[in-house]
């Protein structure tokens, strides 16, 4: 009996040992063979890679999903649509990284059992070239971004008037990049860009405080004593000299000393001798220094500083004393000679058809641009230089690009020619681009991708002198052209513009306008173009700067009623045609259609984007 029980135990032990050995052998086989091929039921982005080696699996995923990753993306940013080739944005399928998690040896028995009993679905992964993607999104942001417009405050006929600010918008670059990365391997639905609102910083309370100060400033005269002279600056002159800039959420008052000085110039004449700063004039194609001159009298800056201390005081206390003395020029002859203004850097002439409003508006702009001295590190602002386009500043009405790319009349029409001419000259002079906005639609007289426009209070044309020398700018006009030249010291032997092909064409629409204000116009397709600014030194390319511009289509406008509107009201739409579509919806425009402007002889329309230009 004992012997029988012992034999049974031995048999059980031997069986258990055999089973353990079998399990161990199976474990070793699973562990040693794990990772060499994908286990059954493994897929990547829906592509079955069961039993394939890592190299073959990557090839299978590339063949199946690669074409999807090469298809064009459409990015929607509010009303704008951008068409993006993934390769241009540094996006592609990363097949090796996508299949990698399905491979690799493991000794973990739990993991081995899970792999044996379950399937594995892995996501396809994109490859991302971060610098290229960031550059593509930055170029889109150039079109989308609009800074918030701060409220403005000015004195009009003795009254302080606040013009409310307007919100701006800014592309959330990181979120938009992430959305593009997520979309590159997905079915091609439009990608929504992330656009954030940007609010003005000046609050209503801050504006109210500034209004009170402005009213007090212009309420009564300021008595000025200078040497043997006592004079009064009228309250209205103080109001004209007063302006406000937005800074840190507040309106900061500033007084223009030249305006204050002019108000009492005749009274100060007996004690003043006029001086002048050094400047430059162009003689025989070379810049020459015009010598400075020491003056005597009241300094504009000191006068403004003194008056600013009393403009919030009661009338009886508005008295200041300013010194009379030698007034050294702000720029002396020797300083001017050391600025490096010695040769022409660039010159550009923009042609345009003659129109009286162009001559006046472009002439006003050129007069204010001419003689600008831009010191190293300084930024040029066209809006600040040519001032707001008002009748008081010498501007008249002309054609501008209005809403939807339809031309209309507004003050300042034509000044975009000064923006284009100045920016193109700055481009070839090597100035650093700060802000340039192209016309919303393409105007054929301009070089596509190498032009600019401005809109007061909305956007500007700015560039910075990033050279170690000063730059002197000259500007002049003829009845049909404007020329701007830059003078300084060349850092490069040559700066060239390389124009890429027009791409992503968007056809124009045909519309009818039966309003009395209609101005017929030909349609213009929208398109995208990239212009490379190429810098050369010693015969070699040393730097390249791409600038991408996207133009919207401009509609073909025919003055009069749409013929479809004359159809009998009881006409029924054809099968499959909605009522709205039957009355002139999204049909293709006829490329041969001609606009029918009033009397057929309206001047060629143009120019600045947005109706306030």
Mention every residue, 6+ apart, whose C-beta is less than 8 A from residue 547. 433, 436, 449, 450, 530, 531, 532, 533
pLDDT category at 332 given cuts 50, 70, 90 is very high
Q: For the segment 279-317, what is each residue's pLDDT rounded down to a tens digit?
A: 999 999 999 999 999 999 999 999 999 999 999 899 999
pLDDT category at 78 given cuts 50, 70, 90 is confident
Cα dist from 333 to 336, 385, 471, whole Å: 5, 24, 16
Task: Output the pLDDT for position 579.
Answer: 29
Q: For the segment 84-110, what is each residue's pLDDT rounded down to a tens digit?
A: 999 989 999 999 999 888 886 554 555
pLDDT category at 130 given cuts 50, 70, 90 is very high
With beta carbons less than 8 A apart as the criterion, state whether 607 and 443 touch.
yes
How far apart CA 284 and CA 343 sit, in angstroms, is 11
Tokens of 484: 């701007």
Q: What number is the average pLDDT over the span 147-151?
A: 85
How far apart CA 210 and CA 162 sit, in angstroms, is 9
Q: Which residue has the higher pLDDT, 600 or 365?
A: 365
Look at residues 69, 46, 84, 70 and name the one whose alpha carbon lies nearest to residue 190: 84
* Residue 448 predicted with pLDDT over 70: yes
CA-CA-CA-CA dihedral for 334, 339, 342, 345, to nearest 10? -160
Task: Output the pLDDT for position 498.
Answer: 96
How far apart CA 569 and CA 573 sit, in angstroms, is 11
Cα dist from 542 to 344, 464, 474, 538, whole Å: 21, 20, 28, 9
* Percentage of the chain modeled with pLDDT above 70: 82
Cis geometry, peptide bond prior to residue 607 (ω within 30 degrees of 0): yes
How far apart CA 610 and CA 613 sit, in angstroms, is 6
Cα dist from 503 to 142, 192, 507, 529, whole Å: 18, 22, 12, 6
Task: Output the pLDDT for position 39.
Answer: 79
Q: Which residue has the higher pLDDT, 79 or 193?
A: 193
With beta carbons less than 8 A apart as the criterion, state whether 194 and 176 touch.
yes
Task: Output the pLDDT for position 203.
Answer: 83
Assign residue 593 a region (left: φ > 0; alpha: ψ between -120 and 50; beta: otherwise): beta
Look at residues 83, 79, 47, 76 and name the one whose alpha carbon lies nearest to residue 62: 47
Task: Output the pLDDT for position 151.
Answer: 85
Beta strands 526-537 and 503-506, pairing class: antiparallel
Q: What number is the average pLDDT over the span 420-438?
A: 96
Task: Output the pLDDT for position 310.
Answer: 94
Lowest mean per-residue pLDDT among 50-59, 233-242, 342-351, 512-521: 512-521
* Residue 404 predicted with pLDDT over 60: no
Cα dist from 129 to 87, 90, 355, 525, 547, whole Å: 9, 5, 50, 32, 19
For residue 321, list its beta bridge partners. 225
Q: Is 203 exposed, middle or buried (0-12, 13-18, 19+ CB in 10 A)?
A: middle
Look at residues 274, 273, 254, 264 and name the one whose alpha carbon lies nearest to residue 225: 264
Residue 416 parent element (H or E): helix 416-429
pTM: 0.60
- SS3 category, 17: helix
- SS3 category, 98: helix
Task: Output the pLDDT for position 159.
Answer: 76
How far apart CA 454 and CA 528 sit, in angstroms, is 20
Tokens of 553: 């289509």
* Residue 588 predicted with pLDDT over 50: no
Look at residues 263, 284, 416, 280 and name the one whose alpha carbon lies nearest to residue 350: 416
- SS3 category, 190: coil
Cα dist from 33 to 36, 114, 373, 524, whole Å: 6, 15, 76, 65
pLDDT category at 366 given cuts 50, 70, 90 is very high
Q: For the segment 463-517, what is each residue's pLDDT rounded down to a tens digit?
A: 999 999 999 999 999 999 999 999 999 999 999 999 999 999 999 888 888 877 7
How far apart CA 394 and CA 261 sit, in angstroms, is 22
Lowest mean per-residue pLDDT among 111-115, 222-226, 522-526, 545-549: 111-115
Task: Output the pLDDT for position 399.
Answer: 66
Task: Output the pLDDT for position 576.
Answer: 35
Mean pLDDT over the full length of the chain:
83
Q: For the segment 157-208, what is each residue's pLDDT rounded down to a tens digit?
A: 767 788 888 899 999 999 999 999 999 888 778 999 999 999 998 888 888 8
Task: Output the pLDDT for position 580.
Answer: 28
Task: Output the pLDDT for position 238.
Answer: 92
Strands, E, within 39-90: which ranges? 42-44, 47-48, 73-77, 80-84
* Residue 229 predicted with pLDDT over 90: yes
Q: Is 75 exposed, middle or buried (0-12, 13-18, 19+ CB in 10 A)?
A: buried
> Residue 5, Cβ neighbours under 10 Å: how many?
9
pLDDT category at 574 given cuts 50, 70, 90 is very low
How far apart CA 139 and CA 143 sit, in angstroms, is 7
Residue 476 parent element (H or E): strand 471-478
Q: At what angle do helices 109-117 and 2-33 cross, to 10 degrees?
A: 80
Q: Which long-range contacts (CB under 8 A, 24 or more apart) does 238-245 make?
A: 238/307, 238/311, 239/155, 239/158, 239/214, 240/155, 241/304, 241/307, 242/155, 242/214, 242/217, 242/218, 242/311, 243/154, 244/152, 244/153, 244/154, 244/210, 244/214
Assign residue 472 a region (left: φ > 0; alpha: ψ between -120 and 50; beta: otherwise): beta
Task: Output the pLDDT for position 391.
Answer: 86
Q: What number is the average pLDDT over the span 139-158?
A: 82
């Amino acid at each position: 009996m004992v012997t029988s029980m012992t034999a049974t135990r031995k048999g059980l032990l031997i069986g258990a040992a055999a089973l353990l050995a079998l399990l161990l052998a199976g474990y070793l086989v699973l562990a040693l063979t794990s990772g060499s091929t994908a286990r059954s039921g493994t897929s990547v982005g829906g592509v079955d890679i069961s039993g394939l080696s890592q190299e073959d699996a990557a090839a299978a995923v590339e063949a199946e999903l690669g074409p999807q990753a090469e298809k064009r993306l459409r990015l929607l940013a509010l009303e704008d649509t951008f068409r993006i080739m993934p390769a241009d944005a540094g996006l592609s399928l990363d097949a090796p990284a996508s299949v990698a998690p399905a491979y690799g040896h493991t000794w973990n028995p739990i993991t081995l059992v899970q792999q044996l009993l379950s399937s594995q679905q892995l996501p396809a992964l994109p490859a991302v070239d971060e610098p290229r993607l960031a550059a593509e999104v930055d170029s889109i942001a150039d079109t989308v971004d609009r800074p918030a417009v701060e409220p403005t405050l000015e004195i009009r006929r003795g009254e302080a008037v606040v013009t409310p600010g307007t919100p701006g918008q800014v592309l959330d670059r990181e979120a938009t990049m992430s959305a593009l990365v997520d979309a590159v391997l997905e079915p091609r639905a439009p990608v929504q860009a992330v656009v954030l609102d940007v609010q003005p910083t000046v609050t209503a309370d801050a504006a109210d405080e500034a209004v009170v100060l402005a009213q007090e400033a212009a309420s009564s005269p300021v008595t000025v004593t200078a040497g043997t002279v006592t004079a009064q600056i009228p309250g209205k002159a103080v109001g004209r000299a007063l302006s406000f800039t937005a800074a840190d959420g507040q309106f900061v008052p500033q007084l223009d000393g030249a305006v204050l000085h002019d108000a009492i110039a005749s009274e100060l004449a007996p004690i003043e001798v006029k001086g002048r700063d050094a400047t430059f004039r162009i003689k025989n194609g070379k810049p020459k220094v015009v010598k400075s001159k020491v003056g005597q009298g009241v300094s504009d800056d000191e006068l403004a500083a003194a008056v600013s201390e009393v403009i919030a005081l009661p009338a009886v206390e508005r008295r200041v004393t300013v010194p009379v003395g030698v007034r050294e020029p702000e720029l002396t002859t020797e300083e001017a000679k050391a600025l490096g203004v010695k040769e022409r850097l660039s010159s550009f002439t923009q042609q345009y058809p003659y129109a009286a409003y162009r001559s006046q508006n472009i002439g006003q702009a050129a007069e204010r641009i001419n003689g600008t001295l831009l010191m190293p590190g300084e930024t040029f602002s066209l809006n600040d230089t040519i001032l707001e386009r008002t009748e008081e500043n010498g501007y008249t009405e002309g054609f501008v690009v209005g809403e939807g790319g339809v031309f209309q009349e507004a003050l300042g029409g034509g000044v975009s020619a000064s923006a284009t001419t100045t920016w193109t000259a700055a481009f070839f002079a090597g100035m650093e681009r700060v802000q340039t906005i192209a016309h919303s639609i393409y105007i054929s007289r301009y070089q596509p991708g190498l032009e600019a426009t401005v809109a007061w209070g909305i956007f500007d044309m700015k560039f910075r002198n990033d050279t170690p020398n000063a730059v002197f700018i000259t500007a002049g006009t003829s009845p049909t052209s404007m020329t701007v030249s830059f003078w300084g010291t060349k850092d490069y032997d040559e700066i060239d513009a390389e124009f890429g092909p027009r791409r992503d064409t968007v056809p124009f629409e045909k519309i009818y306008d039966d309003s009395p204000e209609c101005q017929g116009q030909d349609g213009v397709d929208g398109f995208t173009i990239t212009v490379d600014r190429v810098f050369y030194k010693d015969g070699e390319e040393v730097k390249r700067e791409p600038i991408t511009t996207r133009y919207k289509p401009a509609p073909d406008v025919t003055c009069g009623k749409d013929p479809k509107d004359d159809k009998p009201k009881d006409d029924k739409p054809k099968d499959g045609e909605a009522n709205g579509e039957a009355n002139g919806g999204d049909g293709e425009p006829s490329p041969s259609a001609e606009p029918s402007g009033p009397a057929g002889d309206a001047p060629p329309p143009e120019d600045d984007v947005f109706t306030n230009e």
